[in-house]
A and B are shown apart, each in its own frame.
Chain A
Amino acid sequence: MEKLLNEQVISQIKQTFEQLKEPVQILFFGSQDNCEYCADTRQLLEEVAAIDEKLSLGIYDLQADADMAAKFNVDKAPAIVIAARDGDQVIDFGIQYSGIPAGHEFGTLINDILLVSGRDSGLSEEVRDFLKNLEKPLHLQVFVTPT
């Protein structure tokens, strides 16, 4: 299959990934059921994950791997979970993206990978304090478009 990322983009990402610190586990959730962007999203993630050895990619199906989908709170396809990896352990940071990360959102994907790899949100103390002490569930859905 033809590559989605050209040599120039790959070399840019390689440079950016020099900032990677700890291992990152990417989980892809596809579906056999009417999923227009699943194949492209999977291929894009395979190409990104191949760029640096700190990245691993797991491929799952929303229906066939329903237990994994439930574990990571995934209910759409394509969906991408960006989690931390520590040895054999995958640590969910609650970060996911639903849809194909194309255009502007490709940069968001790369940034999310760097964020999880650094294990640091970069938020102010005040915001961190509130979030750490939060005792009710909070679901933030940020709607975006690729352009």
Chain B
Amino acid sequence: MAMENPGMIRAEGVEATEFPELANQFNVRGVPQTVINAGKGTVVGALPEKNLLAEIMRAVR
């Protein structure tokens, strides 16, 4: 997703066990879990791109 608009979008994979404070901050309970804009939205599990997009749209609105 970041590739489509790198000026606006950053995609970061975070190894949760190495950065537990960050994982705790966003209440990461399972993996994969996607945190959008520092907690404005969150998606647990691997969802199809359309479902992820729906949550992104809600979070950036």
Q: Which residues of B contact A116 (CB under 8 A)?
A: 3
> Is the CB–CB distance between A139 and B57 below 8 Å?
no
Q: Mark B1-32, 1 if CB is under 8 A from A, else 0.
A: 11111101111111111110011001010011
User: Which of A99, A115, A140 contacts B34 (CB under 8 A)?
Assistant: A140
**B contact face: mostly helix, strand, loop, or mixed:** mixed
Decide yes or no: A134 and B13 within 8 Å by CB, A127-B49, A142-B33 being known contacts: no
> Is the CB–CB distance between B31 and A95 below 8 Å?
no
> Is the CB–CB distance between A97 and B13 below 8 Å?
yes
Interchain CA distance A92-B8 in the complex, whole Å: 11
Q: Does A12 contact B (CB under 8 A)?
A: no
On chain A, the number of residues with a Cβ less than 8 Å from chain B's Cβ atoms is 43
**Chain B interface residue bracket vs A:** 35 or more
Q: Mark A26-37, 1 if CB is under 8 A from B, else 0.
A: 000000000011
> Is the CB–CB distance between B4 and A131 below 8 Å?
yes
> Is the CB–CB distance between B4 and A143 below 8 Å?
no
Binding site for B on A (CB under 8 A): 36-37, 73, 76, 91-101, 105, 108, 115-116, 119-121, 123-124, 126-128, 130-132, 134-146
